[in-house]
A and B are shown apart, each in its own frame.
Chain A
Amino acid sequence: MNDVVTAEVKFTRRSRGMLLLAGLALSAVIAFPFLASPYALRVGILIAYYAYLGQAWNILGGYAGQFSFGHAAFFGIGAYTSSLLFAKLGVTPWIGMFAGALGAAAMGTFIGFLCFRYGLRGPYFSLATLAFAEILRVIALNWRAVGGAMGVLLPLRESFWTMQFPEGPPYYAIIVTMLGGIMLLTSFLEQSRIGTYLVAIRESEDAAEALGVDTRRYKIVAMALSSGLTALGGTFYAQYFSYIDPNLAFGIDVSVAVLLPVIIGGVGSLFGPLAGSLILTPLGEVTRRLLGGYRGVHLMLFGAILVAVILYLPHGLVGTFQEKRRMGRRWLP
Protein backbone atom coordinates (compact mmCIF):
# COMPACT_ATOMS: atom_id res chain seq x y z
CA MET A 1 0.00 0.00 0.00
CA ASN A 2 2.77 2.39 1.00
CA ASP A 3 4.68 1.46 -2.11
CA VAL A 4 1.72 2.32 -4.26
CA VAL A 5 1.41 5.73 -2.59
CA THR A 6 5.09 6.50 -3.00
CA ALA A 7 4.92 5.37 -6.60
CA GLU A 8 2.02 7.71 -7.19
CA VAL A 9 3.76 10.62 -5.53
CA LYS A 10 6.80 9.93 -7.65
CA PHE A 11 4.62 9.72 -10.70
CA THR A 12 2.90 13.07 -10.10
CA ARG A 13 6.28 14.63 -9.36
CA ARG A 14 7.65 13.27 -12.57
CA SER A 15 4.66 14.33 -14.65
CA ARG A 16 4.79 17.78 -13.02
CA GLY A 17 8.42 18.00 -14.02
CA MET A 18 7.55 16.94 -17.54
CA LEU A 19 4.80 19.53 -17.68
CA LEU A 20 7.18 22.23 -16.52
CA LEU A 21 9.73 21.15 -19.12
CA ALA A 22 7.12 21.13 -21.86
CA GLY A 23 5.94 24.60 -20.81
CA LEU A 24 9.48 25.96 -20.89
CA ALA A 25 10.13 24.41 -24.30
CA LEU A 26 6.90 25.85 -25.65
CA SER A 27 7.69 29.35 -24.38
CA ALA A 28 11.16 29.13 -25.89
CA VAL A 29 9.66 28.09 -29.23
CA ILE A 30 7.22 31.00 -29.11
CA ALA A 31 9.78 33.57 -27.94
CA PHE A 32 12.43 32.48 -30.41
CA PRO A 33 11.37 34.54 -33.48
CA PHE A 34 11.19 37.72 -31.35
CA LEU A 35 14.71 37.31 -30.01
CA ALA A 36 16.62 35.60 -32.80
CA SER A 37 18.64 37.27 -35.53
CA PRO A 38 17.34 36.72 -39.08
CA TYR A 39 20.03 34.15 -39.66
CA ALA A 40 19.29 32.24 -36.47
CA LEU A 41 15.61 32.36 -37.34
CA ARG A 42 16.39 30.84 -40.70
CA VAL A 43 18.22 27.99 -38.99
CA GLY A 44 15.24 27.58 -36.66
CA ILE A 45 12.90 27.35 -39.64
CA LEU A 46 15.10 24.73 -41.27
CA ILE A 47 15.29 22.69 -38.06
CA ALA A 48 11.50 22.56 -37.83
CA TYR A 49 11.24 21.91 -41.56
CA TYR A 50 13.55 18.88 -41.56
CA ALA A 51 11.98 17.59 -38.35
CA TYR A 52 8.56 17.85 -40.03
CA LEU A 53 9.69 16.01 -43.16
CA GLY A 54 11.47 13.41 -41.04
CA GLN A 55 8.32 12.74 -39.04
CA ALA A 56 6.29 12.37 -42.24
CA TRP A 57 8.77 9.74 -43.43
CA ASN A 58 8.91 8.20 -39.96
CA ILE A 59 5.24 7.16 -40.10
CA LEU A 60 5.99 4.86 -43.03
CA GLY A 61 9.68 4.13 -42.58
CA GLY A 62 9.93 4.13 -38.80
CA TYR A 63 6.60 2.91 -37.51
CA ALA A 64 5.48 0.66 -40.36
CA GLY A 65 9.07 -0.34 -41.16
CA GLN A 66 8.70 0.23 -44.90
CA PHE A 67 11.95 1.94 -45.74
CA SER A 68 11.09 4.35 -48.54
CA PHE A 69 14.05 5.74 -50.42
CA GLY A 70 11.92 7.80 -52.77
CA HIS A 71 10.00 10.27 -50.68
CA ALA A 72 11.16 12.95 -53.11
CA ALA A 73 8.31 11.70 -55.31
CA PHE A 74 5.71 12.95 -52.81
CA PHE A 75 7.67 16.02 -51.80
CA GLY A 76 7.95 16.99 -55.48
CA ILE A 77 4.27 16.39 -56.18
CA GLY A 78 3.41 18.71 -53.31
CA ALA A 79 5.87 21.39 -54.38
CA TYR A 80 4.89 21.25 -58.06
CA THR A 81 1.14 21.06 -57.52
CA SER A 82 0.84 24.11 -55.31
CA SER A 83 3.43 26.08 -57.29
CA LEU A 84 1.87 25.42 -60.68
CA LEU A 85 -1.63 26.13 -59.37
CA PHE A 86 -0.33 29.41 -57.97
CA ALA A 87 1.90 30.50 -60.87
CA LYS A 88 -0.45 29.51 -63.68
CA LEU A 89 -3.93 29.78 -62.22
CA GLY A 90 -3.43 32.09 -59.27
CA VAL A 91 -4.77 29.54 -56.78
CA THR A 92 -3.63 30.32 -53.25
CA PRO A 93 -1.01 27.91 -51.86
CA TRP A 94 -3.25 27.48 -48.83
CA ILE A 95 -5.53 25.48 -51.10
CA GLY A 96 -2.71 24.29 -53.36
CA MET A 97 -0.91 22.56 -50.51
CA PHE A 98 -3.90 20.34 -49.81
CA ALA A 99 -4.39 19.65 -53.51
CA GLY A 100 -0.75 18.57 -53.57
CA ALA A 101 -1.23 16.42 -50.47
CA LEU A 102 -4.20 14.67 -52.07
CA GLY A 103 -2.24 14.11 -55.27
CA ALA A 104 0.73 12.73 -53.36
CA ALA A 105 -1.48 10.51 -51.20
CA ALA A 106 -3.06 9.13 -54.39
CA MET A 107 0.40 8.50 -55.84
CA GLY A 108 1.50 6.90 -52.54
CA THR A 109 -1.53 4.64 -52.60
CA PHE A 110 -0.78 3.66 -56.17
CA ILE A 111 2.91 2.93 -55.52
CA GLY A 112 2.02 1.10 -52.32
CA PHE A 113 -0.61 -0.95 -54.05
CA LEU A 114 1.82 -2.01 -56.78
CA CYS A 115 4.74 -2.74 -54.43
CA PHE A 116 2.75 -4.60 -51.79
CA ARG A 117 0.60 -6.42 -54.32
CA TYR A 118 3.77 -8.04 -55.62
CA GLY A 119 5.18 -8.54 -52.14
CA LEU A 120 8.17 -6.19 -52.39
CA ARG A 121 9.82 -6.06 -48.99
CA GLY A 122 12.94 -4.47 -47.51
CA PRO A 123 15.50 -3.26 -50.01
CA TYR A 124 13.27 -4.17 -52.95
CA PHE A 125 10.62 -1.79 -51.73
CA SER A 126 13.26 0.91 -51.19
CA LEU A 127 14.56 0.52 -54.73
CA ALA A 128 11.05 0.59 -56.20
CA THR A 129 10.25 3.88 -54.43
CA LEU A 130 13.55 5.32 -55.58
CA ALA A 131 12.67 4.35 -59.15
CA PHE A 132 9.30 6.08 -58.94
CA ALA A 133 10.93 9.29 -57.69
CA GLU A 134 13.41 9.16 -60.54
CA ILE A 135 10.63 8.60 -63.09
CA LEU A 136 8.84 11.70 -61.81
CA ARG A 137 12.08 13.69 -61.89
CA VAL A 138 12.73 12.77 -65.52
CA ILE A 139 9.12 13.56 -66.45
CA ALA A 140 9.35 16.99 -64.79
CA LEU A 141 12.67 17.58 -66.51
CA ASN A 142 11.25 16.92 -69.97
CA TRP A 143 7.78 18.33 -69.67
CA ARG A 144 7.60 21.88 -70.98
CA ALA A 145 4.21 22.60 -69.43
CA VAL A 146 5.66 22.24 -65.93
CA GLY A 147 8.72 24.32 -66.73
CA GLY A 148 11.11 21.55 -67.81
CA ALA A 149 14.66 22.00 -66.56
CA MET A 150 13.92 25.67 -65.82
CA GLY A 151 11.53 24.71 -63.07
CA VAL A 152 8.91 27.03 -61.64
CA LEU A 153 9.66 30.49 -60.33
CA LEU A 154 6.89 31.72 -58.06
CA PRO A 155 5.68 35.23 -58.92
CA LEU A 156 6.49 37.45 -55.95
CA ARG A 157 3.37 38.93 -54.38
CA GLU A 158 3.87 39.18 -50.66
CA SER A 159 0.70 38.68 -48.66
CA PHE A 160 -0.91 36.19 -46.34
CA TRP A 161 -3.12 34.94 -49.16
CA THR A 162 -0.14 34.12 -51.39
CA MET A 163 1.78 32.59 -48.45
CA GLN A 164 4.72 34.84 -49.20
CA PHE A 165 6.25 37.05 -46.56
CA PRO A 166 9.04 39.63 -46.49
CA GLU A 167 10.51 38.21 -43.29
CA GLY A 168 11.04 34.98 -41.44
CA PRO A 169 8.56 34.98 -38.54
CA PRO A 170 5.41 34.03 -40.51
CA TYR A 171 7.28 31.14 -42.16
CA TYR A 172 8.49 30.14 -38.72
CA ALA A 173 4.93 30.19 -37.41
CA ILE A 174 3.72 28.04 -40.30
CA ILE A 175 6.40 25.36 -40.12
CA VAL A 176 6.33 25.17 -36.31
CA THR A 177 2.56 24.71 -36.45
CA MET A 178 3.00 22.00 -39.06
CA LEU A 179 5.63 20.30 -36.89
CA GLY A 180 3.42 20.53 -33.80
CA GLY A 181 0.51 19.13 -35.78
CA ILE A 182 2.40 16.16 -37.16
CA MET A 183 3.84 15.33 -33.74
CA LEU A 184 0.39 15.42 -32.19
CA LEU A 185 -0.90 13.25 -35.00
CA THR A 186 1.95 10.78 -34.51
CA SER A 187 1.46 10.57 -30.75
CA PHE A 188 -2.24 9.97 -31.33
CA LEU A 189 -1.35 7.35 -33.94
CA GLU A 190 0.92 5.54 -31.46
CA GLN A 191 -2.08 4.84 -29.23
CA SER A 192 -4.50 3.99 -32.02
CA ARG A 193 -5.37 0.81 -33.84
CA ILE A 194 -3.57 1.95 -37.00
CA GLY A 195 -0.37 2.77 -35.13
CA THR A 196 -0.44 -0.51 -33.22
CA TYR A 197 -0.88 -2.43 -36.45
CA LEU A 198 1.92 -0.51 -38.17
CA VAL A 199 4.53 -1.37 -35.54
CA ALA A 200 3.31 -4.97 -35.53
CA ILE A 201 3.81 -5.11 -39.30
CA ARG A 202 7.32 -3.73 -38.85
CA GLU A 203 8.18 -6.38 -36.26
CA SER A 204 6.73 -9.39 -38.07
CA GLU A 205 4.44 -9.23 -41.03
CA ASP A 206 3.49 -12.91 -40.84
CA ALA A 207 2.64 -12.76 -37.16
CA ALA A 208 0.55 -9.62 -37.69
CA GLU A 209 -1.30 -11.25 -40.56
CA ALA A 210 -1.97 -14.35 -38.43
CA LEU A 211 -3.46 -12.11 -35.73
CA GLY A 212 -6.05 -10.67 -38.08
CA VAL A 213 -4.18 -7.64 -39.42
CA ASP A 214 -4.82 -6.89 -43.09
CA THR A 215 -1.14 -6.09 -43.54
CA ARG A 216 -1.35 -4.95 -47.14
CA ARG A 217 -4.18 -2.56 -46.42
CA TYR A 218 -2.46 -0.98 -43.42
CA LYS A 219 0.82 -0.61 -45.25
CA ILE A 220 -1.04 1.28 -47.97
CA VAL A 221 -2.71 3.45 -45.32
CA ALA A 222 0.75 4.30 -43.92
CA MET A 223 1.96 5.03 -47.43
CA ALA A 224 -0.94 7.40 -48.19
CA LEU A 225 -0.63 9.20 -44.86
CA SER A 226 3.13 9.57 -45.09
CA SER A 227 3.12 10.76 -48.70
CA GLY A 228 0.32 13.28 -48.20
CA LEU A 229 2.11 14.80 -45.20
CA THR A 230 5.41 14.89 -47.08
CA ALA A 231 3.74 16.83 -49.88
CA LEU A 232 2.72 19.57 -47.42
CA GLY A 233 6.42 19.97 -46.65
CA GLY A 234 7.06 20.29 -50.40
CA THR A 235 4.66 23.22 -50.63
CA PHE A 236 6.33 24.89 -47.67
CA TYR A 237 9.70 24.54 -49.39
CA ALA A 238 8.41 26.08 -52.61
CA GLN A 239 6.85 29.01 -50.74
CA TYR A 240 9.90 29.63 -48.60
CA PHE A 241 12.43 29.57 -51.42
CA SER A 242 10.07 30.78 -54.18
CA TYR A 243 11.68 28.46 -56.68
CA ILE A 244 11.64 24.77 -57.54
CA ASP A 245 13.14 22.69 -60.31
CA PRO A 246 13.11 18.94 -61.03
CA ASN A 247 16.26 18.25 -59.02
CA LEU A 248 15.27 20.33 -56.04
CA ALA A 249 11.82 18.73 -55.91
CA PHE A 250 12.34 15.15 -57.09
CA GLY A 251 16.10 14.68 -56.66
CA ILE A 252 17.63 11.93 -54.55
CA ASP A 253 19.00 14.61 -52.18
CA VAL A 254 15.46 15.18 -51.00
CA SER A 255 14.87 11.50 -50.33
CA VAL A 256 18.06 11.37 -48.27
CA ALA A 257 17.41 14.64 -46.42
CA VAL A 258 14.02 13.33 -45.37
CA LEU A 259 15.29 10.17 -43.70
CA LEU A 260 18.67 11.29 -42.35
CA PRO A 261 17.41 13.13 -39.23
CA VAL A 262 15.17 10.17 -38.40
CA ILE A 263 17.98 7.64 -38.52
CA ILE A 264 20.24 9.86 -36.40
CA GLY A 265 17.47 10.79 -33.97
CA GLY A 266 15.67 7.48 -33.66
CA VAL A 267 13.62 5.46 -36.14
CA GLY A 268 10.03 4.86 -35.07
CA SER A 269 10.12 7.24 -32.13
CA LEU A 270 8.02 10.35 -31.61
CA PHE A 271 10.90 12.71 -30.83
CA GLY A 272 13.52 11.05 -33.05
CA PRO A 273 13.11 13.27 -36.12
CA LEU A 274 13.17 16.47 -34.04
CA ALA A 275 16.26 15.35 -32.13
CA GLY A 276 18.00 14.40 -35.37
CA SER A 277 17.15 17.70 -37.01
CA LEU A 278 18.22 19.69 -33.95
CA ILE A 279 21.69 18.21 -34.35
CA LEU A 280 22.11 17.85 -38.10
CA THR A 281 20.62 21.12 -39.33
CA PRO A 282 22.80 23.53 -37.27
CA LEU A 283 25.81 21.31 -37.93
CA GLY A 284 25.18 21.55 -41.67
CA GLU A 285 24.90 25.33 -41.39
CA VAL A 286 28.10 25.67 -39.40
CA THR A 287 30.16 23.54 -41.76
CA ARG A 288 28.76 25.39 -44.73
CA ARG A 289 29.81 28.68 -43.13
CA LEU A 290 33.27 27.52 -42.12
CA LEU A 291 34.03 25.52 -45.25
CA GLY A 292 31.72 27.28 -47.69
CA GLY A 293 34.31 27.07 -50.44
CA TYR A 294 34.14 23.30 -50.50
CA ARG A 295 30.72 22.26 -51.72
CA GLY A 296 29.32 19.12 -50.20
CA VAL A 297 31.63 19.05 -47.20
CA HIS A 298 28.61 18.98 -44.87
CA LEU A 299 27.43 15.85 -46.65
CA MET A 300 30.73 14.13 -45.89
CA LEU A 301 30.27 15.10 -42.26
CA PHE A 302 26.69 13.80 -42.26
CA GLY A 303 27.98 10.57 -43.75
CA ALA A 304 30.55 10.20 -40.98
CA ILE A 305 27.92 10.90 -38.31
CA LEU A 306 25.57 8.42 -39.93
CA VAL A 307 28.21 5.68 -39.83
CA ALA A 308 29.03 6.48 -36.21
CA VAL A 309 25.38 6.46 -35.16
CA ILE A 310 24.64 3.18 -36.94
CA LEU A 311 27.70 1.60 -35.32
CA TYR A 312 27.35 2.91 -31.78
CA LEU A 313 23.71 3.98 -31.38
CA PRO A 314 21.72 1.66 -33.63
CA HIS A 315 18.45 2.88 -32.11
CA GLY A 316 19.35 6.52 -32.72
CA LEU A 317 19.69 9.19 -30.05
CA VAL A 318 16.16 9.02 -28.67
CA GLY A 319 15.94 5.25 -28.99
CA THR A 320 19.17 4.74 -27.06
CA PHE A 321 18.09 7.20 -24.38
CA GLN A 322 14.77 5.40 -23.94
CA GLU A 323 16.50 2.04 -23.83
CA LYS A 324 18.84 3.24 -21.08
CA ARG A 325 15.98 4.66 -19.07
CA ARG A 326 13.92 1.53 -19.46
CA MET A 327 16.79 -0.71 -18.39
CA GLY A 328 17.20 1.43 -15.28
CA ARG A 329 13.57 0.95 -14.34
CA ARG A 330 13.36 -2.60 -15.46
CA TRP A 331 13.00 -4.37 -12.17
CA LEU A 332 10.52 -1.98 -10.66
CA PRO A 333 6.84 -2.84 -10.90
Chain B
Amino acid sequence: MTILALDGVSKSFGGLMAVQNLSMEVEGGEIVGLIGPNGAGKTTVFNLISGFLRPDRGRISFKGEGIVGLPPHEICKRGIARTFQIVRPFANLPVLKNVLVGALNRASGTREAHRVAAESLEIVGLWQKRHLLARELTLSEQRKLELARCLATKPELLLLDEVMAGLNPQEVEEMLELLRALHTRGLTFILIEHVMEAIMTISHRVVVLHHGEKIAEGPPAQVAEDPKVIEAYLLGAPQGVG
Protein backbone atom coordinates (compact mmCIF):
# COMPACT_ATOMS: atom_id res chain seq x y z
CA MET B 1 0.00 0.00 0.00
CA THR B 2 1.35 3.44 -0.89
CA ILE B 3 1.58 5.54 2.26
CA LEU B 4 3.18 8.67 0.82
CA ALA B 5 3.09 9.98 -2.73
CA LEU B 6 4.74 13.04 -4.21
CA ASP B 7 3.51 14.02 -7.64
CA GLY B 8 5.36 16.64 -9.68
CA VAL B 9 6.46 18.63 -6.64
CA SER B 10 8.54 21.76 -7.25
CA LYS B 11 9.87 24.43 -4.97
CA SER B 12 12.09 27.37 -5.76
CA PHE B 13 13.69 30.02 -3.57
CA GLY B 14 14.01 33.15 -5.64
CA GLY B 15 15.87 32.00 -8.74
CA LEU B 16 17.08 28.75 -7.22
CA MET B 17 15.13 25.62 -8.05
CA ALA B 18 15.51 23.64 -4.86
CA VAL B 19 13.22 20.81 -5.92
CA GLN B 20 12.17 20.21 -9.51
CA ASN B 21 9.22 18.15 -10.59
CA LEU B 22 9.84 15.43 -8.03
CA SER B 23 7.63 12.39 -8.04
CA MET B 24 8.16 9.49 -5.69
CA GLU B 25 6.17 6.97 -3.73
CA VAL B 26 6.78 5.25 -0.45
CA GLU B 27 5.15 1.97 0.47
CA GLY B 28 3.99 1.22 3.98
CA GLY B 29 6.75 -0.55 5.93
CA GLU B 30 9.48 0.54 3.56
CA ILE B 31 12.82 2.15 4.42
CA VAL B 32 13.67 4.66 1.73
CA GLY B 33 17.00 6.47 1.61
CA LEU B 34 17.12 9.97 0.18
CA ILE B 35 20.66 10.82 -0.88
CA GLY B 36 22.51 13.32 -3.01
CA PRO B 37 25.37 15.80 -2.85
CA ASN B 38 25.18 18.86 -0.58
CA GLY B 39 22.54 21.30 -1.73
CA ALA B 40 20.65 18.66 -3.69
CA GLY B 41 17.36 19.62 -2.02
CA LYS B 42 16.93 16.70 0.36
CA THR B 43 16.04 18.72 3.43
CA THR B 44 13.73 20.87 1.33
CA VAL B 45 11.84 17.71 0.41
CA PHE B 46 11.38 16.98 4.12
CA ASN B 47 10.24 20.53 4.76
CA LEU B 48 7.69 20.19 1.96
CA ILE B 49 6.32 16.88 3.22
CA SER B 50 6.13 18.01 6.86
CA GLY B 51 4.39 21.28 5.99
CA PHE B 52 7.17 23.69 6.94
CA LEU B 53 7.30 24.77 3.30
CA ARG B 54 4.55 24.87 0.74
CA PRO B 55 5.36 23.53 -2.73
CA ASP B 56 4.98 25.90 -5.68
CA ARG B 57 3.52 23.07 -7.73
CA GLY B 58 2.57 19.46 -7.31
CA ARG B 59 0.64 17.20 -4.99
CA ILE B 60 1.68 15.44 -1.81
CA SER B 61 -0.65 12.85 -0.40
CA PHE B 62 -0.43 10.81 2.76
CA LYS B 63 -2.59 7.68 2.95
CA GLY B 64 -4.52 8.91 -0.06
CA GLU B 65 -5.31 12.37 1.26
CA GLY B 66 -3.72 15.59 0.00
CA ILE B 67 -1.69 17.31 2.71
CA VAL B 68 -0.36 20.34 0.85
CA GLY B 69 -1.24 23.52 2.72
CA LEU B 70 -1.77 21.87 6.09
CA PRO B 71 0.26 23.37 8.96
CA PRO B 72 3.06 21.17 10.38
CA HIS B 73 1.19 20.36 13.60
CA GLU B 74 -1.76 19.06 11.59
CA ILE B 75 0.53 16.90 9.47
CA CYS B 76 2.03 15.49 12.68
CA LYS B 77 -1.49 14.68 13.86
CA ARG B 78 -2.07 12.75 10.63
CA GLY B 79 0.93 10.54 11.41
CA ILE B 80 4.11 12.00 9.93
CA ALA B 81 6.93 12.91 12.32
CA ARG B 82 10.29 14.40 11.49
CA THR B 83 13.65 15.14 13.06
CA PHE B 84 15.77 18.15 12.26
CA GLN B 85 19.16 18.08 10.55
CA ILE B 86 20.47 20.39 13.25
CA VAL B 87 19.02 18.98 16.46
CA ARG B 88 16.42 21.15 18.11
CA PRO B 89 15.93 19.78 21.59
CA PHE B 90 13.94 21.80 24.12
CA ALA B 91 17.32 22.58 25.60
CA ASN B 92 16.34 23.79 29.06
CA LEU B 93 13.69 21.17 29.70
CA PRO B 94 14.32 17.77 31.24
CA VAL B 95 14.58 14.85 28.83
CA LEU B 96 11.26 13.44 30.03
CA LYS B 97 9.45 16.74 29.46
CA ASN B 98 10.89 16.89 25.94
CA VAL B 99 9.30 13.59 25.07
CA LEU B 100 6.10 14.46 26.92
CA VAL B 101 5.47 17.23 24.39
CA GLY B 102 5.41 14.66 21.63
CA ALA B 103 3.37 12.20 23.66
CA LEU B 104 0.59 14.74 24.21
CA ASN B 105 0.00 14.66 20.46
CA ARG B 106 -2.24 11.61 20.77
CA ALA B 107 -2.60 11.06 24.51
CA SER B 108 -5.91 12.16 25.99
CA GLY B 109 -4.38 13.24 29.29
CA THR B 110 -1.07 13.86 31.00
CA ARG B 111 -1.15 10.49 32.77
CA GLU B 112 -1.36 8.58 29.50
CA ALA B 113 1.22 10.93 27.98
CA HIS B 114 3.65 10.07 30.78
CA ARG B 115 3.23 6.39 30.02
CA VAL B 116 3.83 6.92 26.28
CA ALA B 117 6.84 9.16 26.98
CA ALA B 118 8.37 6.57 29.30
CA GLU B 119 7.86 3.91 26.67
CA SER B 120 9.57 5.99 23.97
CA LEU B 121 12.50 6.75 26.25
CA GLU B 122 12.88 3.05 27.01
CA ILE B 123 12.97 2.27 23.30
CA VAL B 124 15.82 4.67 22.53
CA GLY B 125 17.59 3.87 25.81
CA LEU B 126 17.39 7.26 27.49
CA TRP B 127 15.11 6.36 30.40
CA GLN B 128 18.03 6.52 32.85
CA LYS B 129 18.72 10.10 31.79
CA ARG B 130 15.14 11.34 31.97
CA HIS B 131 15.90 13.96 34.65
CA LEU B 132 18.83 15.56 32.84
CA LEU B 133 18.23 18.70 30.84
CA ALA B 134 18.29 18.11 27.10
CA ARG B 135 21.26 20.43 26.71
CA GLU B 136 23.32 18.23 29.01
CA LEU B 137 23.11 15.25 26.65
CA THR B 138 25.79 14.36 24.13
CA LEU B 139 25.03 14.90 20.45
CA SER B 140 24.30 11.23 19.91
CA GLU B 141 21.93 11.25 22.89
CA GLN B 142 20.24 14.39 21.60
CA ARG B 143 19.62 12.65 18.28
CA LYS B 144 18.09 9.74 20.16
CA LEU B 145 16.01 12.21 22.13
CA GLU B 146 14.66 13.70 18.91
CA LEU B 147 13.81 10.22 17.77
CA ALA B 148 12.06 9.48 21.08
CA ARG B 149 10.00 12.67 20.79
CA CYS B 150 8.96 11.66 17.28
CA LEU B 151 8.06 8.15 18.38
CA ALA B 152 5.95 9.53 21.21
CA THR B 153 3.71 11.28 18.68
CA LYS B 154 2.81 7.75 17.45
CA PRO B 155 3.64 8.31 13.78
CA GLU B 156 3.26 5.94 10.87
CA LEU B 157 5.90 7.64 8.76
CA LEU B 158 9.18 8.98 10.14
CA LEU B 159 11.33 11.49 8.29
CA LEU B 160 14.84 11.29 9.71
CA ASP B 161 17.21 14.03 8.63
CA GLU B 162 20.81 12.88 9.12
CA VAL B 163 20.28 11.19 12.45
CA MET B 164 23.70 9.60 12.11
CA ALA B 165 25.70 12.73 11.32
CA GLY B 166 28.46 13.31 13.83
CA LEU B 167 28.12 9.92 15.47
CA ASN B 168 31.11 7.60 15.86
CA PRO B 169 31.03 4.17 14.19
CA GLN B 170 29.78 2.43 17.31
CA GLU B 171 26.98 4.96 17.77
CA VAL B 172 26.05 4.59 14.11
CA GLU B 173 25.78 0.85 14.68
CA GLU B 174 23.50 1.43 17.70
CA MET B 175 21.33 3.80 15.72
CA LEU B 176 20.98 1.30 12.87
CA GLU B 177 20.03 -1.37 15.39
CA LEU B 178 17.40 0.95 16.79
CA LEU B 179 15.96 1.78 13.37
CA ARG B 180 15.73 -1.89 12.48
CA ALA B 181 13.92 -2.60 15.72
CA LEU B 182 11.45 0.21 15.01
CA HIS B 183 10.98 -1.04 11.49
CA THR B 184 9.89 -4.43 12.77
CA ARG B 185 7.20 -2.60 14.75
CA GLY B 186 5.71 -1.53 11.42
CA LEU B 187 7.06 1.98 11.00
CA THR B 188 7.89 3.44 7.60
CA PHE B 189 11.04 5.53 7.18
CA ILE B 190 12.53 8.04 4.83
CA LEU B 191 16.15 8.71 5.74
CA ILE B 192 18.45 11.47 4.62
CA GLU B 193 21.99 10.42 5.28
CA HIS B 194 25.54 11.22 4.38
CA VAL B 195 26.91 8.13 6.08
CA MET B 196 26.77 6.06 2.90
CA GLU B 197 27.60 2.73 4.43
CA ALA B 198 24.76 3.09 6.88
CA ILE B 199 22.14 4.11 4.37
CA MET B 200 23.19 1.46 1.86
CA THR B 201 22.86 -1.31 4.43
CA ILE B 202 19.52 -0.32 5.89
CA SER B 203 17.54 1.10 2.95
CA HIS B 204 15.29 -1.06 0.80
CA ARG B 205 15.32 1.56 -1.88
CA VAL B 206 17.31 4.70 -2.54
CA VAL B 207 16.26 7.90 -4.28
CA VAL B 208 19.08 10.12 -5.53
CA LEU B 209 18.58 13.86 -5.87
CA HIS B 210 20.88 16.21 -7.72
CA HIS B 211 20.19 19.92 -8.15
CA GLY B 212 16.65 19.24 -6.98
CA GLU B 213 15.97 16.58 -9.58
CA LYS B 214 15.61 12.86 -9.14
CA ILE B 215 18.44 11.30 -11.14
CA ALA B 216 18.17 7.71 -9.97
CA GLU B 217 16.02 5.39 -7.96
CA GLY B 218 16.24 1.73 -7.03
CA PRO B 219 17.84 -0.82 -4.73
CA PRO B 220 21.07 0.48 -3.10
CA ALA B 221 23.42 -1.85 -4.94
CA GLN B 222 21.99 -0.89 -8.31
CA VAL B 223 22.00 2.84 -7.62
CA ALA B 224 25.60 2.74 -6.40
CA GLU B 225 26.68 1.59 -9.84
CA ASP B 226 24.57 4.06 -11.80
CA PRO B 227 26.95 6.22 -13.88
CA LYS B 228 24.77 9.30 -13.36
CA VAL B 229 25.03 8.93 -9.62
CA ILE B 230 28.77 8.42 -9.68
CA GLU B 231 29.12 11.47 -11.88
CA ALA B 232 26.96 13.56 -9.58
CA TYR B 233 29.01 12.64 -6.56
CA LEU B 234 32.42 12.86 -8.17
CA LEU B 235 32.05 15.74 -10.57
CA GLY B 236 28.73 17.40 -9.99
CA ALA B 237 29.25 18.38 -6.37
CA PRO B 238 29.69 22.15 -6.13
CA GLN B 239 33.26 23.15 -5.42
CA GLY B 240 34.29 25.68 -2.79
CA VAL B 241 31.42 27.36 -1.06
CA GLY B 242 28.85 24.65 -0.84
Contacts and interface: CB of A to CB of B under 8 A. Distances in A.
A33 B52 CA distance: 56
Contacts of B90: 199-200, 203-204, 207-208
B136 to A, nearest CB: 8
Contact of B97 (A193, A199, A215): A199
B76 A203 contact: no
Given A196-B104, A213-B101, A207 B76 contact: no
Contact of A210 (B72, B92, B97, B104): B72
Q: Is the interface of A mostly helix, strand, loop or mixed?
A: helix
Interface in B43-85: 50, 52, 71-74, 76-77, 81-82, 84
Contact of B93 (A200, A212, A215): A200
Contacts of A207: 84, 88-90, 149
Contacts of A215: 73
Contacts of A75: none
B52 A212 contact: no
A194 to B, nearest CB: 10
B91 interface: yes
A210 B50 contact: yes
A211 B153 contact: yes
A253 interface: no
Contacts of A196: 97, 100-101, 104, 110
A196 B84 CA distance: 21
A191 B104 CA distance: 12
Contact of A211 (B52, B74, B101, B132): B101
A330 B149 CA distance: 23
A213 B93 CA distance: 16
B166 to A, nearest CB: 18
B73 A206 contact: no
A158 interface: no
Interface string B92-104: 1100010011101
A197 interface: yes
Residue from A191, A196, A213 whose CB has the most chain B CB atoms within 10 Å: A196
Contacts, number: 75
B91 A203 contact: yes
B121 to A, nearest CB: 15
A285 interface: no
Contacts of A210: 50, 52, 72-73, 76, 81-82, 84
Nearest to A191: B110
Contacts of A191: 110
A209 interface: yes
A211 B102 contact: yes
Interface string A165-209: 000000000000000000000000001110011011001101111
A4 to B, nearest CB: 15
B105 interface: yes
A171 to B, nearest CB: 37
A204 B76 contact: no
Nearest to A332: B131
B224 to A, nearest CB: 32
A189 to B, nearest CB: 12
Nearest to B91: A203
A8 interface: no
Nearest to B135: A203
Interface in A103-158: none
Contacts of A204: 88-91
B110 A209 contact: no
A200 B74 CA distance: 17
Contacts of B50: 210
A324 to B, nearest CB: 14
A121 B77 CA distance: 25
12 contacts: A193-B110, A193-B113, A200-B90, A203-B89, A203-B92, A204-B91, A208-B101, A209-B76, A210-B81, A211-B102, A212-B77, A212-B102
Interface of B: 50, 52, 71-74, 76-77, 81-82, 84, 88-93, 97, 100-102, 104-105, 110, 113, 132, 149-150, 152-153
Interface of A: 191-193, 196-197, 199-200, 203-204, 206-215, 330
